[in-house]
Amino acid sequence: MKVRTNTELDCGCCGMYFRTWEGYQDRDQDTGYGICKPCQDDEEKDNDRRIDEILDLLRGNLNAENLVRLNALNRDQQKRLAYTAIEEGMVSFKIGRVA
């Protein structure tokens, strides 16, 4: 990923103008666009919420022994397990409108 500092961009999510900061990393955006800090924070919160939903689903379907093992993992390990469950087709979700 290319890092750009002090570059003027439009946010691809909210449309607001922003200037990149130290450590900003490009996302897969068109030229002149990026993701502003508030939108990145919202995206992270949404990702964390989805991971928690997947972990809750897994917890509800584990036997007692495996539940203890899952709960003993640190947060990063639990997130990797959730991503693995998605990649292996054990869990799926759709992105779209909620009725």
Give DSSP secondary structure letters for 33-97.
EE--HHHHHHHHHHHHHHHHHHHHHHHTTS-HHHHHHHHHS-HHHHHHHHHHHHHTTSS----S-
- Structural domain for 66, as ranges: 42-87
* 31 & 49 share domain: no
* 52 & 25 share domain: no
pLDDT reported for residue 25: 81
Give the Cα separation of 45 and 26 in Å (integer). Answer: 19
pLDDT reported for residue 76: 96
Tell me, yes or no, whether 21 lies in a domain.
Answer: yes
* 46 & 82 share domain: yes
Question: Could you tell me the pLDDT band of residue 91, with boundaries at 50, 70 and 90?
Answer: confident
56-77 average pLDDT score: 96
Please give the structure tokens belonging to residue 41. Answer: 């924070």
* 31 & 47 share domain: no
Question: Could you tell me the pLDDT band of residue 96, with boundaries at 50, 70 and 90?
Answer: low
Q: Among residues of the chain, what percentage have pLDDT more than 70?
A: 89
* 30 & 53 share domain: no
Instruction: State which H helix or E strand residue 20 sits in.
Output: none
Q: Is the pLDDT assigned to residue 14 strictly greater than 90?
A: yes
61-90 average pLDDT score: 95
40-54 average pLDDT score: 92
